Amino acid sequence: MSVKTAIYPGTFDPITNGHLSILTRALKIFDRIVIAILNNPNKVPLFTLEERQVMIRHVLRGMRNIEVDSFNGLLVDYVIQRKTNVILRGLRALSDFEYEFQMALMNRKLNRDVQSVFLMTDYKWFYTSSTIIKEAASLGGDVSGLVPPMVCARLKEKYGFAERA
């Protein structure tokens, strides 16, 4: 039987519990998931690519059949390069729908062999995103429970709210 790999692309700046919920669900469908972090030189993320990779690897330690990688350029080209044809995306509230629909249709136009598959995140993370979590954390808000503990600590460090020992 052939191994079915799905590419889970995103900015992951930083990884959230919502992403983890999608990953856990996807592992029940696919044999292998590649987390593909977009390395976009035109955008300045809060966390460097390396920092994002370190956090993701830490959070996923012990979880099997997941690989962490990065890509630049067209996602569909990366998908083909990884010898698969599935893009995995999470869907949250209705507000995601238009953006995801646009991306899926563009990706389909660029390569008809590549299929986008959407999984619904757990209702607990329905209205959270890396962006809103960063905004709250930047103002000293408590985002524990929305991101893994290690990410919570890194956010506090980045924004200068880490407790001194």
Tell me whether residue 40 or residue 142 sits nearer to ligand PNS (CB atom): 40
Cβ neighbours of residue 119 closer than 8 Å, sequence gap 6 or more? 22, 25, 26, 29, 88, 89, 90, 91
- Exactly one of 5, 9, 133, 147 binds ligand PNS (CB under 6 A); that residue is 9
d(CA 23, CA 145): 17
Interface with ligand PNS, residue 10, by CB under 6 A:
yes
Q: Which of residues 96-155 bind ligand PNS (CB under 6 A)?
A: 103, 106-107
Amino acid in the structure at residue 165: A
Q: Which of residues 20-49 bind ligand PNS (CB under 6 A)?
A: 38
Residue 140 beta carbon to ligand PNS: minimum distance, rounded to whole angstroms: 25
Strands 115-120 and 86-91: parallel
> Total binding residues for ligand PNS by CB under 6 A?
9
Q: Which of 60, 53, 64, 61 is nearest to 10 (CA)?
A: 53
Interface with ligand PNS, residue 75, by CB under 6 A:
yes
Interface with ligand PNS, residue 11, by CB under 6 A:
yes
**CB-CB contact of 117 with 86 (8 Å):** yes
Q: Which stretch binds ligand PNS (CB under 6 A): 9-17, 50-58, 59-67, 143-151?
A: 9-17
Helix, strand, coil percentages in the chain from 3-state DSSP, rounded to 5 = 40, 20, 40
Q: Is the peptide bond before 148 cis (omega within 30 degrees of 0)?
A: no
The answer to whether residue 92 is catalytic is yes
| 147 DSSP 8-state letter | B
Exactly one of 52, 82, 89, 92 is catalytic; which is it? 92
Residue 1 beta carbon to ligand PNS: minimum distance, rounded to whole angstroms: 29
Please give the residue ranges that form the binding site for ligand PNS (CB under 6 A).
9-11, 38, 74-75, 103, 106-107
By annotation, the residues acting in catalysis are 19, 43, 92, 130
